[in-house]
């Protein structure tokens, strides 16, 4: 039963995501694919996955313990805070902090998590901003 509830929630989320994507106004200067293609692909994958869960639920699903659910909740809070603070502290710092916390909770040692978080942040910044020329949120340090 819980799988069907989860699948239904995913299907509703996919529908909302697709609807929100279709509200994006396209500029006459957009490329051939446009800004809607990638979000619609994500919505389609989510919808298909949710349908699979609804149609073929697990007979005896195992839910995580309360402590694990709390960790999942904390990860969600970190991602919400990431989105909120991204314009304030910039992409590099916000991504480094979020990646550090998430890798630490996935089991790496604290110092190693800091290194991985910083490396992830700088790597993504290099590829998306320096190589591809995409605009990322600038922080107080100017990058």
- Residue 53: how many other CB atoms lie within 10 Å: 19
Q: CA of 9: how far to CAs of 13, 14, 76, in Å? A: 6, 9, 17
The pLDDT score that the predictor gives to residue 103 is 96
Residues of the chain with confidence (pLDDT) below 50? none
95 contacts 119 by C-beta, under 8 angstroms? no
Distance, in Å, from the CA atom of 71 to the CA atom of 87, rounded to the nearest integer, reads 25
Quote the pTM value. 0.67
Q: Which distant-in-sequence residues (6+ apart) come within 8 Å of 125 by Cβ?
A: 91, 92, 95, 136, 143
Give the three-class secondary structure for 143.
Answer: coil
The pLDDT score that the predictor gives to residue 131 is 87
Distance, in Å, from the CA atom of 45 to the CA atom of 51, rounded to the nearest integer, reads 10
Mean of the per-residue pLDDT values for the chain?
Answer: 90
The pLDDT score that the predictor gives to residue 72 is 93
């Amino acid at each position: 039963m819980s799988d069907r509830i989860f699948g239904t929630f995913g299907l509703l989320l996919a529908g909302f995501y697709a609807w929100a994507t279709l509200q994006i106004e396209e500029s006459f200067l957009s490329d051939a694919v446009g800004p809607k293609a990638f979000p619609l692909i994500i919505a389609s994958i989510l919808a298909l996955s949710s349908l699979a869960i609804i149609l073929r639920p697990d007979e005896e699903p195992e839910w995580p313990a309360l402590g694990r659910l709390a960790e999942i909740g904390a990860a969600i809070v970190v991602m919400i805070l990431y989105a909120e603070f991204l314009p304030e502290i910039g992409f590099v710092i916000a991504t480094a902090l979020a990646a550090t916390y998430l890798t630490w909770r996935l089991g790496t040692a604290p110092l190693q998590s800091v290194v991985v978080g910083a490396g992830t942040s700088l790597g993504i910044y290099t590829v998306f901003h320096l190589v591809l020329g995409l605009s990322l949120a600038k922080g107080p340090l100017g990058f």
